[in-house]
Amino acid sequence: MRSDIAKKGIPAAPNRSLFYALGYTKEELERPLIGIVSSYNEIIPGHMNLDKIAEAVKAGVLAAGGTPIVFPAIAVCDGIAMGHIGMKYSLVTRDLIADSTEAMAMAHQFDGLVMIPNCDKNVPGLLMAAARVNIPTIFVSGGPMLAGKLTDGRRTCLSHMFEAVGSYYAGKLDEAGVEEYENNACPTCGSCSGMYTANSMNCLTEAIGMGLRGNGTIPAVYSARLRLAKHAGMQVMDLVRKNIRPRDIMTPAAFHNAETVDMALGCSTNTMLHLPAIAHECGIELDLDMSNEISAKTPNLCHLAPAGDTFMEDLEQAGGVYAVMAELTKKNLLDTSVLTVTGKTMGENLQGVVNRDPSIIRPIDNPYSADGGIAVLKGNLAPEGCVVKRSAVAPEMMVHEGPARVFDSEEDAIAAIYAGKIVAGDVVVIRYEGPKGGPGMREMLNPTSAIVGMGLGSSVALITDGRFSGATRGASIGHVCPEAAQGGPIAFVEEGDHIAIDIQANTITLKVDEDTLAARKAAWVCPEPKIKTGYLARYAKQVTSAARGAVLE
């Protein structure tokens, strides 16, 4: 066993004495040591139940003959961090999580790992760590939240909550109305109930082969989630016995499958940051152009919130991610020969799977659209690309042109939106919010929700070198690369410049002639860094373009 170096023979006697200090017995040390990476904490609704998941995993490991050992991973709640300096610390935790988990796994020479994430950065951070350490590993998330219900019976969720604030500032909702959303939008523990980033990544963990069926969709409050956790604990022991490791599973074909399922589900645009970063740790390079190639032949089959009025519990009832994949196999859009954590191929896993509700998961021959839920746009404003959740854009905004309203921070933009200074036809530009310029690449859920809540979602676009929450909807275009802080063209946009967006044609154009842009570039001076000390300052020096997944070098 890999752990033998830390527990067998006379040289390891001091090591064993420390295990004995922990209360472990000689018999327990003769079994494989399984590290259980629990992201449990008391500040995130999606993580408040992970202690129960960890206990269930431990039971599964013990039942299958292993010795479970729990250690923690940090997490940030994007919703609580939203709209202030805290959001600068969200994306950056992905790398802290990967680094610290790698350190723990290598220092203690575990034989296998069970990863228990749930929210936005924990899933990709732990997948990155799994790829680096490359010992038998399985994932089991904490599960999604149930949708809320207002007093009139309408179902609701976190994205509606953010939009309610915009409605309040527009005079469409009073304080009591906002409070009703507050009290009902998030009714249970779990990752927020729409196809936001956390649920997107947990679903894609199934698609890439690193989680069991139901990992992305079984609600957090269902007892089936505990049974899934026990089975994950049992299954990691089979992976250890067979020495099936993450890089055996996360192959180029598996990432192709994940991007295909991403397009069919209509996942968060943040997947365009996380999948390349995970692939990078596997020695595989994904580029944004490949995403458009996949999108062009992958129908969009689901419209979960914020794109529609259905939620994760509905997707689970319809058959979950496996039912979506089963639809995709009807057009041979997936490589079903890939290996998964079940020890079987995807094709074997999908045998007998059916779509139980065609109103939730559209049949492959009756999709919402013939192309996928995410589009990558390119043009003179974004030479390296930018991304938009096409499935959540109003039809009338698929093609749009308007004057730029330029802001050098999220705070300035949100103040202008709430003050009624943004009008129909405008293109809001928020810059210096990229990985380096932020630093930390904040999510812009507050301004996008304000635009929608104020009734401008079908007439105003927003463009940023920052990113968006999976709860964002509308013509919200993020990850503009190169970013402003790197001297990208978004730095040279001036108030009133016209910007043309054509999502169907995958183009974004700043309608300013090349000579004028060259003159602006020559006169441009990069602003002083917003943060000059601490982790964020170090991060800004190491982080790469969002087009590469904002990986560190």
Encode pLDDT of 81-139 as tens digits: 998 999 999 999 999 999 999 999 999 999 999 999 999 999 999 999 999 999 999 99
| Residue 479 three-state SS | strand
Nearest Cα to Cα of residue 175 among 184, 160, 164, 185: 164
Is there a contact between 488 and 201 (Cβ–Cβ < 8 Å)? no
Q: Which residues pair with 463 in a beta bridge?
A: 429, 477
CB atoms within 10 A of CB 160: 25
pLDDT reported for residue 471: 86
Walk along the chain (553 residues) and give the pLDDT tens digit of each residue. 999 999 999 999 999 999 999 999 999 999 999 999 999 999 999 999 999 999 999 999 999 999 999 999 999 999 999 989 999 999 999 999 999 999 999 999 999 999 999 999 999 999 999 999 999 999 999 999 999 999 999 999 999 999 999 999 999 999 999 999 999 999 999 999 999 999 999 999 999 999 999 999 999 999 999 999 999 999 999 999 999 999 999 999 999 999 999 999 999 999 999 999 999 999 999 988 899 999 999 999 999 999 999 999 999 999 999 999 999 999 999 999 999 999 999 999 999 999 999 999 999 999 999 999 999 999 999 999 999 999 999 999 999 999 999 999 999 999 999 999 999 999 999 999 999 999 999 999 899 999 999 999 999 999 999 999 888 899 999 999 999 999 999 999 999 999 999 999 999 999 999 999 999 999 999 999 999 999 999 999 999 999 999 999 9
Nearest Cα to Cα of residue 132 among 277, 273, 33: 277
Distance of CA 384 to the CA centre of its chain: 21
| Residue 161 three-state SS | helix
Is there a contact between 488 and 378 (Cβ–Cβ < 8 Å)? no
CA distances from 322 to 14, 144, 261, 315 (A): 48, 16, 10, 10
DSSP conformational letter for 191: B
Residue 444 makes CB contacts below 8 A (sequence gap 6+) with: 410, 413, 430, 433, 462, 464, 466, 467, 468, 469, 472, 476, 478
Residue tagged active-site, from 39, 167, 191, 469: 469
Kindly state the tokens that stand for 60: 């599964």
Amino acid at 79: G
Nearest Cα to Cα of residue 34 among 142, 183, 165, 136: 136
| Domains of the chain, earliest start first | 1-30 (no CATH), 31-145+192-349 (3.40.50.2300), 375-548 (3.50.30.80)
Helix (H) or strand (E) holding 105: helix 93-108
Asked if 100 is an active-site residue, the reply is no
pLDDT reported for residue 289: 86
Distance of CA 444 to the CA centre of its chain: 15
Degrees, nearest 5: CA angle 391-395-400:
105
pLDDT reported for residue 211: 98
Distance of CA 511 to the CA centre of its chain: 33
- d(CA 451, CA 538) in angstroms, rounded, equals 34
- d(CA 543, CA 439) in angstroms, rounded, equals 9
Residue 152 makes CB contacts below 8 A (sequence gap 6+) with: none
pLDDT reported for residue 288: 86
Is there a contact between 36 and 2 (Cβ–Cβ < 8 Å)? no
- d(CA 179, CA 163) in angstroms, rounded, equals 13
Nearest Cα to Cα of residue 466 among 303, 273, 295: 273
